[in-house]
Each structure stands twice: as C-alpha cells, then as structure tokens.
Chains A and B, each alone.
Chain A
Amino acid sequence: MTPILQRSADVLRRLVRRKGAMLGLLFLGLLIFSTSLARWILPFDALTQDFSAILQGPSRVHWFGTDELGRDILARVVYGARTSLITAGGAVAIAAVVGVPIGLLAGFFGGWRDTLLMRFVDVLLSLPGILFAMALIAVLGRSQMAALVAVGISGIPSFARITRAQVLSLRKRDFVIAVEALGGSASYNMFKTVLPNSWSPILVQVVILSSVAILIEASLAFLGVGIPPPTPSWGEMLRTGKTFLYDSPTYAVLPGLVLTFTILSLDTIGRALASVLADRHEIVADTEPAVGSRP
C-alpha cells in the first residue's frame, strides 16, 4: 500500500471507532446510496401527482405520506437529497478552489499581499453568509446555479483563513526553511512542501462547510429564494409543509428530520475527524467553524 492510502486507512479506522462518527457515516452512506439508486428502489418518483391521495399521513404505501399534489413525500425527500448534496458539493468545491490559494499566497508571502488578500476576505466575512447569498440571488435570479455559487462564495473566507493559519505555522518549520535555503523556488516550496502538509485542516473544513452549505441551501429554499420548484428540495418542502401544519403535521416534520440528521451527521464526522487528526498531530487545534456563519 502506498503511504497516502495507509494514512487514509488509519484515519478511517480511528474514525469509525468513535460511535458518533460511525453513526454519521452510516446515515450519510444510506442517504447517498438511496439517492443514487432512487429510480430502482423507490416505488414512486418525486414528480408524479395523484389528486386522489393528497396530504395523507404516513401509511404502508406512502411511508412519509403525500403532499398537497399527492406526490410521495419519501420520494421527494430522497430525490431532494440529490439537490442538497450536489449544491453543497459544488459550493464547497468553489469555496476551496478559491479560498485555499488565497490563504496559501497570503500566508506564504505575507506583507502587502497578505494585507490585500485578507482585507478582501474580511469584506466577504463582514456580511452573514445567508444575506450575501440572498443579495446574489436577487441579482442572478432563482436557480440551482445561483444558490450553489452564492453559498460557495460565502464559504471562501473560512478556507482562506484556515489555510493561511496552517501555512503561517508551517512557514517557521525547519523543512520549509531548508527548502528555501537550498534554493527551492517560492512556487516549488508552496505547492510541493507547504500545501501537501496543509490538507488535514482543509479536509476538516470541507466536512464542516458541507454541513453549513446544506443548511444555507435549505434556508434559501425555505425563504422561497432557493432552487425553484418543482425540483424537490428539503427547504422547499418545509416551506410548503409549514402551511399545512393543521392538516398534515408530518409533511413538514419528516423532511426536516432527515435534513437535521444530515447536518448532525456531518457536524459529528467533522468534529471526530478534527480530533482524530489532532491525535495524529496533523492539525494543531480543533477546527471550529467561524461563529455566526450560520443562518
């Protein structure tokens, strides 16, 4: 086995030994499994309407009941997972692809480049994520792409800050100074020495930010400015379900339960991963998301 595989296997082994992380991984696994095979394992799809069966409670046929158009809520929850996971994945990718280089450059060079880049990050950070997303959607209009980009941009600061902090601490280490002393170029040092040693805190941030991204996407949909219907989305289901609280209370409760489990799973895995990596001395301290980053 290559060293990187060995390392990942060890981290995974330590991770599943923790009960909370194990449960979280199981739940996410089930979610990903069912949403990718939804077409074959579910008896209903997310869009077929049946006006003879509207706003039913949970039954043997419809496990989660039906919505106001007679659509199967379980099917909509499972297909909604796809919307949620794709949006979150895309958003985290944007945030990492832009944020990590910013943190790398700012931390490595310092000086005016650091000041300039971090001031830009401060501006982004000065607006709560959900407000920024809403402003962007006001401009771009409602679409999955707009939600994805908006959530992605608001995630840039956390990657930039985490990477910068890691780079600053690596900058003083002997092996980085040695590369510099031996005449290694700045770009060689940054990408071949510093960056490979920064992946651990970045990985933790990926997990934590996925949870935040899922929450913001659902919040936007709940506010009616997220992904437009009829695409199934958890936030949208809660929004509509809320208007039928008297007729069909499970309509809003069950999709919300799945959303909450997803967020809690990612949070728990993120915290466990941080503590596993801290045990292996790969990151300095536990990595908490910035306070107030949530809607």
Chain B
Amino acid sequence: MIGFILRRLLQLLPVLLIASTGIWAMIYAVPGSPVGTIVGENATPEQIQAAIVRLGLDQPMAVQYWSWLRNALVGDFGLSIQNREPVLDLIVHRIPATIQLGLAATVIGLLLGVPVAVISALKPGSWLDRWLSGWSALALGVPTFWLGILLILLFSVYLRWLPSASTYVSIWESPWQALRNVLLPALTLGVYVSGIFARFLRASLLGELKADYVRTARSKGLPERDVIGRHVMRNALLPFVTIVGLMMATFIGGTVVTEAVFTYPGLGRLLIQAISTRDYPLIQGCILFILVVFVLINLAVDVLYAYIDPRIDYG
C-alpha cells in the first residue's frame, strides 16, 4: 500500500514540474515586463533598476527559476503586488470559504442525484426514467451562472428570503447565517453535480443489476429491497466514490464562476481579482495551489478506491 502511494506520488512529479515551469514562465510571456506593473507607471529609471535587482530579474533565467521553485516548494510565492501581503496568507485565508461551499454543494448534489439515479435505474426505459434522464441532462446543460441569476431573482429579488450577495460566515460560529449565505451558491453548484452524480450512478447501477449475483439473490427469494440495498448498492457505490471525489477536487478551483455570481469570497474570486489587477505573484500562487490540491485529491481518491475495492491490485 505504502509502495503504491509512493509510486503514484513519483508519477505526479513530472506533471507538477512541467506545470510549475509553465506557471513560472507565464510572467515572462507577458507583453511588456512585469516590472512595469510592480513599480507603477510613473517610476524613474532608477526605481525600475532597483526593482529589477530586488526581484532578482538581472540573474540568469535558470537561477531565477531555481530560486522561484525553491521558494514555491515551501509555500513562499512572494508578496502580492496589490496589497503587499504574502500570497500564501491571502490564499490560506480564502480556503475555509471555498471548502464550506464545496462541501455544501456536494451534499446537495448527493441529495438530489442519488434518489434520481436509484429511481430511474429500478425502472429503466419507463416514462419516469425518461423524465429523470431529461432532468439530469438539463442539470448538466444549464450554465451555472444563469441558474445562479435565476435563483437570485426568485429568492432574493421577488421572495426576499435570502441575500443576493453571499458572504462567508463559518458554520461553527453562526450556523443560521452560514446556511443563509451558502444556500444559493451551493444549490447552483449542487444542481450541476447532481446531474453528473445521477447519470454516473444510474449507469453503474444498471451495470450491476445485470450481474449474476443479482439473479442468484433474486432466485433464492431475497426481497428486492435487500437485493438492491444490500448487494447492488454496495457494488455500484464503489466507482461512484471516485466521481464524488473528482467533483470535490474540481470544486477547489472550479467554483470560480459560481463565486463570481454570488460575490462569494472564495479562492476562485481571489484568482479573478488577481487577474483583473494583473497581480502576477498572486495569479501564479493561486493557480499552482489549486493545481497541487487538485492533483493530490485525485491521488487520494485513487488510493481510497484501491483501499475499499479489494480486487484492485496495488502491489
């Protein structure tokens, strides 16, 4: 098991190395030079020269890359150009908000998606199955930002039940306020993932229902409820764990659009703000951070999958 994890970690190294090189190099591909953004438009030549020396931009490329990578490895992405705070602090500060939104969306996605999948898998081809499949297609196709706008119109503009702009309130400090603020963005994302969950679990259930052990269980007179609940569900949920994990991984960076709709202060919004102010250290830090977390969650899902499915050989 340990060997399996280590081997997978080693396989990640080239991916991370190439990606980090790309992220590092992007600052040199910017038209003009990043120094201009840092010192401001009215800088004197002396100030520009001082900034170049201070940032190490007079060093050879290889030296610059090595020092950037060494710092990034210990989480030092430098200072944000915009407000002179360490990039890592800004990122860490936003993590709880993004995690809270991601978890809430996953819960809603499961609550909506699992029943849809189970009901339609039990009666494949029926009118109910067709309607529910249509619903999944709709959930997958509707752009999240448009759905978010519709929800704001309904719940904030007309009914006035919920705030149209969400702030982050920790669920531990004030559960009611946290719920009020996270409900609409989480519903927006949750509807979308429920489509993925429903479609995937339905296919997985239908696959299992064809298996021999189901025929055996039925022929020995086991009630249908037990056939589904005790045998089919367990096996169908196995690959499903992978999908749920994958979605949670994409939520780390993939909530950008939803966060923008509700002006929710998560990681995605930090990245958008960084891009619009051309705050390159912050852009690099955000993207590298999201990438690493995304890759690590994927690894964790693989490991978990190998752990719960004894058929997978990780020797």
- What is the interface of chain A, defined by CB distance below 8 A to chain B? 119-120, 122-123, 126-128, 130-131, 134-135, 137-141, 211, 215, 218-219, 222-225, 235, 238, 241-242, 245-246, 249, 252-253, 256-257, 259-260, 263-264, 267-268, 271, 288, 291-292, 294-295
Interface stretch among B51-59, B77-85, B221-229, B289-297?
B289-297
Secondary structure dominating the interface of B = helix
How many Å lie between the Cα of A131 and that of B23 in the bound state? Answer: 12
Q: A127-B294, A130-B256 are in contact. List 13 more A-B contacts (CB 8 A).
A: A126-B19, A130-B257, A131-B271, A138-B278, A222-B145, A223-B272, A225-B275, A245-B153, A249-B153, A249-B157, A260-B141, A267-B137, A294-B192
A219 engages B15 (CB within 8 Å) = no
Q: Which residues of A contact B19 (CB under 8 A)?
A: 123, 126-127
Q: In the complex, what residue of chain A is closest to B140 when comparing beta carbons?
A: A267
Interface stretch among B24-32, B67-75, B97-105?
B24-32
How many Å lie between the Cα of A149 and that of B188 in the bound state? Answer: 28
B265 within 8 A of A: no
Q: Which residues of B contact A138 (CB under 8 A)?
A: 26, 275, 278, 280, 283
Measured between C-beta atoms, what is the minimum distance from A190 to chain B in Å? 27
Question: Lowest 4 CB-CB distances: which A-B pairs, in order?
Answer: A256-B146, A292-B250, A264-B141, A138-B275
Measured between C-beta atoms, what is the minimum distance from B118 to chain A in Å? 20
B256 engages A242 (CB within 8 Å) = no
Which residues of chain B in 118-175 are interfacial with respect to chain A, using CB atoms and an 8 Å cutoff?
137-138, 140-146, 149-150, 152-153, 157, 164
How many residue pairs bridge A and B at CB < 8 Å?
131
How many Å lie between the Cα of A263 and that of B295 in the bound state? Answer: 29
Kindly identify which residue among B23, B152, B192, B253 contacts A128, using a CB–CB cutoff of 8 Å.
Answer: B253
> Quick one: which of A120, A126, A246 has the most chain B CB within 10 A?
A126
Q: A123-B19, A245-B152 known; A128 and B254 CB under 8 Å?
A: yes
Q: A127-B294, A222-B257, A224-B276 known; A259 and B146 CB under 8 Å?
A: yes
How many Å lie between the Cα of A120 and that of B196 in the bound state? Answer: 27
Measured between C-beta atoms, what is the minimum distance from A159 to chain B in Å? 20
Q: A119-B14, A223-B260, A267-B137 known; A135 and B153 CB under 8 Å?
A: no
A295 engages B138 (CB within 8 Å) = no
How many Å lie between the Cα of A236 and that of B208 in the bound state? Answer: 45
> Quick one: which of A123, A218, A235, A253 has the most chain B CB within 10 A?
A123
Q: Which residues of A contact B143 (CB under 8 A)?
A: 215, 218-219, 256, 259-260, 263
